[in-house]
């Protein structure tokens, strides 16, 4: 499958089967994320794979949605502010950008592997940090539920046209 077809296939999954995800597939997703580009190649990320029932319960308290609790595992993409590149001119920290690129590699790899995922950014970051016992320099950027899509999934939401998002100068 070419990249455009894969991107078109990916959508936000909000229903998961209880079937576990094979460790080979999880490792594949993580390897794809590890190879993501980052500013000055600093790779300021940490991927927390949440599989244990106890940790999943604690993480689910950070984003209390029924569909979210169905996922058999989660990958929490964190930005390490101590390792990230900061632009000299204005001090802009690229940690979030780098973490987002790595997260997108995960969701595309998941789609390629027949898995579903959903970007979750509307969560309680303080509660997440506590649930995962994260050190101060790690900021949870996105929660990615991962699993096999269930039957109750909608369709991909429409996207704006190129004319709406491109400006040529």
* Three-state DSSP class for residue 39: helix
Contact criterion met (CB below 8 Å) for 114 and 91? no
What is the pLDDT tens value at each position of the chain, 169 positions in all?
899 999 998 999 999 999 999 999 999 999 999 999 999 999 999 999 999 999 999 999 999 999 999 999 999 999 999 999 999 999 999 999 999 999 999 999 999 999 999 999 999 999 999 999 999 999 999 999 999 999 877 667 788 999 999 999 9
CB atoms within 10 A of CB 128: 21
Domain boundaries, the chain: 18-151
- Tokens, residue 66: 């029924």
Helical ranges in 3-141 per DSSP H = 3-9, 23-34, 53-60, 66-69, 95-112, 125-131
Residue 82: C-alpha distances to residues 60, 100, 169 (Å): 27, 17, 38
CATH of 18-151 given 3.40.109.10, 3.30.450.20, 3.30.365.10, 3.40.50.300: 3.40.109.10
**pLDDT at position 154:** 66
Alpha carbons 59 and 50: distance in angstroms, whole number: 8
- Tokens, residue 86: 């900061």
**pLDDT at position 1:** 85
- Tokens, residue 44: 């300021």
Contact criterion met (CB below 8 Å) for 111 and 36? no
């Amino acid at each position: 499958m070419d990249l455009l077809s894969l991107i078109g296939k990916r959508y936000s999954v909000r229903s998961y089967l209880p079937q576990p995800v094979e460790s080979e597939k999880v490792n594949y997703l993580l390897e794809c994320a590890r190879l993501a580009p980052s500013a000055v190649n600093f790779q300021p990320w940490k991927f927390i794979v949440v599989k244990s029932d106890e940790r999943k319960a604690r993480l689910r308290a950070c984003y209390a949605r029924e569909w979210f609790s169905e996922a058999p595992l989660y990958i929490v993409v964190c930005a390490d502010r101590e390792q990230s590149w900061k632009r000299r001119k204005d001090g802009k920290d690229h940690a979030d950008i780098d973490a987002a690129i790595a997260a997108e590699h995960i969701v595309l790899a998941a789609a390629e592997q027949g898995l579903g995922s959903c970007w979750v950014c509307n969560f309680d970051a303080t509660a997440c940090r506590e649930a995962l016992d994260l050190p101060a320099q790690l900021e949870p950027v996105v929660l990615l539920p991962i699993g096999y899509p269930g039957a109750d999934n909608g369709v991909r939401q429409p996207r704006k046209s190129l004319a709406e998002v491109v400006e040529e100068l």
